[in-house]
Chain A
Amino acid sequence: MKEAASMAKTLALSSAESLINKALQFDPITLQGLQALDGKVISLYGRSPTFQLHLLPSEDGISLFSIYDEGKADASLHGSTFNLVQLLRKKDQSLAEAPIDIQGDQALAEECLNLARELEVDWEELLSGFIGDIAAHEIGRQGRRFGRWTKKVHQSMLRNTREYLHYESRAVVNEKEVQQFGTEVAQLDEAVSHLEGRIQTLKARLES
């Protein structure tokens, strides 16, 4: 079980690392910031539930490890998993204000935190492989918020597209125009029927 969890962590981190490094290729400013941390090791130790995450920035990107030599990090952050996740999410919270213990180089930890925030990674999702339900709940909440946002965007897009096709490009007629057209066709049909009736009446009179 422990071994399966270990492989799951390795898989989760491998995927996350790959995604982050791909994103960094399109974000030269953050990549430049990472280069300043080249060769450093920054560790996060969460508790309740327990997890550890080790970041090794380099000029090529960043490596994420689930295991690293104890006590070999240049800076390490220790705290509850909840507080560590909040620290990564809340961009206005400084490291000093957070209920987190820092060991090693505090300036390095601060610099790394700022870069991690700029990366705009979904840290909750990344950490869900480690921390289970609490983070899963948090991710779910974020997911629902995202769902509402996408629904709103979807509706807005539909409305804008409809208006563009009806009024800007005149590529298609709108609903009112269709109704008007239908009414006119019905009236014409009725008039034709009346006319046909009168013709039949006149025809009958002429024959008699």
Chain B
Amino acid sequence: MVAIHSGINTVILSMANDNKTHFGYQEVDEEEKEGRVAEVFHSVASKYDLMNDLMSGGIHRLWKRFTIELSGARKGQSILDIAGGTGDLAQKFSSIVGEKGHVVLADINDSMLRVGRDKLIDHGYAGNITYTQANAEFLPFADNSFDCVTIAFGLRNVTHKDVALASILRVLKPGGRLLVLEFSKPRQKAISKAYDAYSFSILPAMGKLITNDAESYRYLAESIRVHPDQETLKGMMEEQGFSRCKYYNLTGGIVAVHRGFKV
């Protein structure tokens, strides 16, 4: 068992036993986590984009854009966007890969998928995008299907991250790459303290005000704290067989993009 001092609470990173996992700071049965994460996203789906803009001051768009720049995507490629939510990445990928390419927007949560699908269709993005409700741990795609797989702000909600990483590696084509955009650990103590204060007091209040749901945003703050830090996630990717793994810290390490290749 590994204990991490987050500055707010001491949290338990590793599982207490094989059947338990974390849901924020709580320890829950593995079977329970998926359902509770689903509840969170059902609750916030309709205001997800608005909340992202408010919470990050719009910077989440730059984080996503930087992730796309790292993708090396080009016309004709196949791209899988896991936990694609409201389709921010899929929209840009759709333009880049063109008619000959293909983008799969996948999300385990049907509410998020519906909001994403409606948004993309309303913006005129259709023809090369398909929508799939899928669990990242058991991706319903053939081996070696995609040139690039992205998962933005989704991996921390996955119950078995190692299983999900292995599943992603399986569906990637040789030479293909995985990009994980996720909250991480700030590098400076000062940033970390301010960030904690913001996450645990302002975020839930904002969530209460906009979505009438403070709990979901408290979960967001807690789930970020129990998510593996930059080096740990890089190690997990390498352990699952990804090569040339590297990460890029963004906004002082509040967010990081991890990149790894299937060779």
Contact = CB atoms under 8 A, between A and B. Distances in A.
A10 B62 CA distance: 6
Q: Give the interface residue-count category, chain B.
A: 20 to 34
B98 interface: yes
Q: Give the interface residue-count category, chain A.
A: 20 to 34
Interface in B64-115: 65-66, 68-70, 72, 74-76, 92, 95-96, 98, 100
B65 A39 contact: no
Contact of B70 (A3, A11, A67, A72): A67
B26 interface: no
B42 interface: no
B130 interface: no
Contacts, number: 52
A166 to B, nearest CB: 51
A58 B95 contact: yes
Given A10-B62, A60-B95, 18 more contacts: A3-B250, A6-B66, A6-B248, A7-B62, A7-B250, A14-B65, A39-B74, A39-B75, A39-B98, A56-B74, A56-B96, A58-B95, A63-B96, A65-B69, A67-B66, A68-B69, A68-B72, A72-B74
A66 interface: yes
Interface of A: 3, 6-7, 10-11, 14, 38-39, 41, 56, 58-61, 63, 65-69, 72
Contacts of B59: 7
A69 B72 contact: yes
B70 A7 contact: no
A158 to B, nearest CB: 41
Contacts of A6: 66, 248, 250
A14 B72 contact: no
27 contacts: A3-B249, A3-B250, A3-B252, A6-B66, A6-B250, A7-B59, A7-B62, A7-B250, A7-B251, A10-B62, A10-B65, A10-B69, A14-B62, A14-B65, A38-B98, A39-B75, A56-B96, A58-B95, A58-B98, A60-B95, A61-B95, A65-B69, A67-B66, A67-B69, A68-B69, A72-B72, A72-B74
